[in-house]
Amino acid sequence: MTSRSNSRMPVHLVHPNLRSVTDLRFAHPDDLASADVIVSALPHGETSGRLPELVARLSSDRGILVDLSSDFRLADPSAYRNEYLDDHPRPELLGTFVYGLPELYRGELRSARRIAGAGCIATAAILALYPAVRSGLVDHGRDVVIEAKIGSSAAGSTPGPSSHHAERSGAVRTYAPTRHRHLAEVRQALPEAPPLHMTATAVERVRGVLVTAHLWLTPGVGEDQVLAAMRAAYDDEPFVRLVRAMRGNYRVPDPRILDGTNFCDVGFAVDEDSGRLVTMAALDNLVKGTAGHAMQSLNLALGLPEGTGLGFTGLHP
């Protein structure tokens, strides 16, 4: 494990949950040894500039690089420019990384040597929309609206004015009414979807994403067809669970019970009177939304069982 700011410190001093689990110390990135696999968690914009250095530290041309930043998630340079308001510094490499969402790209990930970790809100939104869109149940004459609620850890570890406790505590703050950057990833993964719009709101949780999407079904489509599409998409997925409880507190997806897990819980409801389909997806933004799906993708690329290292089932209460 490497860190500039924590170089030579024991890992458990930064991550106290790892006491007695590891005796590793952080190494300085300049001292990184040759490796079969490198997982890069550099801030946005830094991986593309340091890519030659990272690739040079791979032990062979079969070495695997996983990038958790947003540098290589988009394949289209114009889409990148539109979302990040700047040209990509290495446009010739866009499209050479496999998007790290196993539910859609499992086949490509099995042979991948460059993997781009998906955005956390994008992961939840794609998994919420995918079954209905893929099955052709959605009215393309009506736009889709996605509302995402997200915990504070999605803002990263660097404190700022909006993350100060006095400002964050009790907050339900819409910080991206329009033009959230993860929407470009959703459009890329679901090009056959109707026009998509997204709003993101910060809530008083540390972990968790809850996406609620509003779609319109084509005339004649009802709950049975939606349920069949959900089951066809996810019955065989190891980390997507369809929530269909008819009673109790957890009848729809809730990120509260997913802290620390690699599960994404998906649910839906149909308003038969209007034809509106509401789909919901909940996940832990730091696991299934980032590190977990990166590990899941890496397991596929290495030929390991897909769930290796991802067996934690969460806590309740």
Average pLDDT estimate for 146-157: 91
* Same domain (yes/no): 180, 135: yes
Report the distance separating Cα 295 and Cα 292, nearest Å. 5
In a domain, 262, yes or no: yes
* Same domain (yes/no): 124, 267: yes
Structure tokens at 252: 């729809």
* Same domain (yes/no): 98, 124: no
pLDDT at 163 over 90: no
* Same domain (yes/no): 205, 275: yes
pLDDT-derived band of residue 89, with 50, 70 and 90 as boundaries? very high
Per-residue confidence (pLDDT) for residue 155, from 0 to 100: 83
In a domain, 85, yes or no: yes
The 10s digit of each residue's pLDDT in 221-238 is 999 999 999 999 999 999
* Same domain (yes/no): 108, 206: no
User: pTM, whole model, 2 decimals?
Assistant: 0.96
pLDDT at 154 over 90: no
Residue with tokens 């890519």: 51
Put the strands of the sheet holding 173-176 in their side by side order: 173-176, 196-202, 144-150, 209-216, 276-283, 264-271, 240-242
* Same domain (yes/no): 175, 211: yes
Could you list the active site residues?
120
Give the domain extent around 28: 11-118+289-302
In a domain, 311, yes or no: no
The 10s digit of each residue's pLDDT in 238-277 is 999 999 998 989 999 999 999 999 999 999 999 999 999 9
pLDDT-derived band of residue 162, with 50, 70 and 90 as boundaries? confident
* Same domain (yes/no): 163, 234: yes
| CATH number where 102 lies | 3.40.50.720
Q: Which residue has the higher pLDDT, 121 or 154?
A: 121
pLDDT at 165 over 90: no
Residue with tokens 């079904």: 217
The 10s digit of each residue's pLDDT in 103-142 is 999 999 999 999 999 999 999 999 999 999 999 999 999 9
Contact 258, 205 (CB under 8 A): no
In a domain, 316, yes or no: no
Torsion of CA 292, 192, 228, 246, to 10 degrees: 60
* Same domain (yes/no): 71, 124: no
* Same domain (yes/no): 114, 135: no
* Same domain (yes/no): 33, 177: no
pLDDT-derived band of residue 158, with 50, 70 and 90 as boundaries? confident
In a domain, 187, yes or no: yes
Per-residue confidence (pLDDT) for residue 157, from 0 to 100: 77
In a domain, 52, yes or no: yes
Average pLDDT estimate for 23-28: 95
In a domain, 2, yes or no: no
| CATH number where 220 lies | 3.30.360.10
Average pLDDT estimate for 202-207: 94
In a domain, 136, yes or no: yes
Q: How many domains would you assign to the chain?
A: 2
* Same domain (yes/no): 125, 114: no
* Same domain (yes/no): 16, 42: yes
